[in-house]
Chains A and B, each alone.
Chain A
């Protein structure tokens, strides 16, 4: 169905207000149902047996003693999930990650699963499964993994993107390159050059709710899945593919979600739960423990990045390069490529080159984490930008403004930009009071910019006008940050009715057309576009009903302020018909009133942000306190400003944790040493100041209201902004994230790095 998504300047009544979110009361009173809150009669409890080794060949699995245990209803291994990937490497990798087939590739890799009548029986059964491993040498470090003598994870992987093609297998799965111009010539023109290497450690998205689902297979080979996910339609497709099901036979319902940030865009245990239910003939509940979440669900990449930037004395950058090595876990992906694309996207560069290497290591499969790969690249580049600004004696904001990309700039990843917002965020930072407030001893201020692509995708909504004139809106994008409130505002805006008269729900996969996931900052961008379209379709129906009532041509009816109005002098005596009046007689005038929309919400537009941060570092302990933090970002149009601010603040908070403390720590045996929130420290409220936000509204030309996605870009600048602030506070350039107390003390020369 065609829909003109072109931006139209208009005054809003509902959009831009800040009503209470519809799911708020349930969430704060504990009534909201998350993944683990769903139960079925006769449900079994599942537990997963995981590898204690970082790298090992599976010689033999004997499940007979577990199967003999009373109360055990099903035991599965990879043999119960046959390979149906038909050459689709990504699907095969997903299958292998769900249950290891011939080798285990990381500490925590699933090898078998049990469904039993209770948790105790399931745990006992796991202990009775015998797995014989041939332990292999392992490698967990991204720089170690690319060395010629490193243990090779896959004998079948030869580095792609290199000519001539290598003849020996490698842990480097792919090389990608972006850029333009002549960087050697550019560096020759530079008056000053900075060159430095950076490291970032692996972090987890840290969602509070673990992965959880209930799977129920029926005797007729239909199945249902209740699950915590960012995309139930995508989970349906993945699970159907992996289990050999018709898509129509698998119904997936998404629960409330206690955080995802990209980690719940991939299936982990859901196919295992379905396979167990298929074998047991009963519903199966599978909830990951926190330890399992850390050991076996996707963290972000660990990285090693080299940056070189040169500039003339007037601040013009003459050349810039970055070489980026990103860990992928055991399965090849595009994480380094995304880093290579985003590295210098904020800047207008005549000569630029970035090279990305996808590196396989014995760690869990890397998953998307909010603007995946961009924060680490921004850390390296924005740190170097600060260092170069200092070297040539320029203010860091002025240096960035001088080199900022604008409309017509050829981006470092190739295309020429249309209208973009990096300049306005920098100018807002330059004039922000935060940039000019005084600092004291041991304190430092940093700022940094960030870029993310944003995208839209397939989207479908149903808008139903009820008999009393209230409206039910069914959407297929999971609400991760308040989108039900935002979409209710959009429906209210279009229909001209109060926000309170719209109830938005997330429909299951059997009751609505396909929707892509809530990822890529697309939830509100895409579903608001589809909601506008659906509402306008419903308005068309209501105008037809009014015309029928009045017995006048439909062309003489318009929709204004929640009413159908007859236009023209000859209809002057006709009183407007409200949505309630039209809905009340809908059954007599043609039946229910609904508006439907299915569309591809492309045209999201790229996104930029600038962050400012003040820190204080205790030179005795190396501990860093965030004193003040400001986020400046373009939202296009903030539909519900509270939730836009919430996204800005959430991204900054996660970035603060990433910058200062969060880190996967592996022992020499390749086992994860800190799979819990006690030893893997995410920020809590007392660690954070009030994070100030400034919403810029530069309309997106490809959305009727000008909306842009806002969910991801806010995590891109924090690592660099905080590193720049800490570096100033301690007087030493910090090049290794997280800047935990031991690393800061080591930088200060007080202690060796822990």
Chain B
């Protein structure tokens, strides 16, 4: 690991000022940054430690929304009683992510900045070509071992999968990220690679994530996160789904439904085609399974990841059926 200067910021203002320096990177939980520094992927000249800033770790839940401070730990949000009852998919996405130790370290703001687990991205010594690391150098994954790579939102430049869980639930429920004064939807905060794979987030030099706001809704209250993976725990998703469901008073007609996918796309992926196909429809298995196929509209596989195209719609269907059973 290359050495760096260490600065401890005690206020958001100090963090903003310091982060505008060239080569400066913010350090919160460190679970991504320290790991990637050891891999030789992250080479910051200055690390700005924001973990000592007071007042940024609050979790405030009302009937209207959850307002989660950027430095709130993943474990604390997952275990929060109000989050569990009003936003179950958010809690479930969090406790199924990483391990207990990592969830005690990683923050909600840092979680949004988590980098891909693409093995070519993480290994610069053996794979110099990576458009995410070195724009224009090419993509080692295309033509390589692609079992974990994305089938949605890919480009000629990059097929790396977005690895997180929390953000899948956040985009399903129209969450908003606070960058101080500037606010934008989490869905827009994440960028598909296109021709600029190195740019993953709409965040500017000098900006610091201060909070995440999740609007309350009937669909958020009746929601779940299902994660399918190669082992039962402590593994990234092969495919995952955050789903929220609101039924009419008849208990079987879908009034509102939210669907987002993880493990299959280059960014947290909202599946609006599935939502539109199911609104106003009756909750029955045949209708649901047919609509869930729409989640894979535009999917492109690279050989070994072909299975995700069959898997993801089934994960979404399982989530919807599970929520239907709780009627």
Q: Say whether A and B bind each other.
A: no
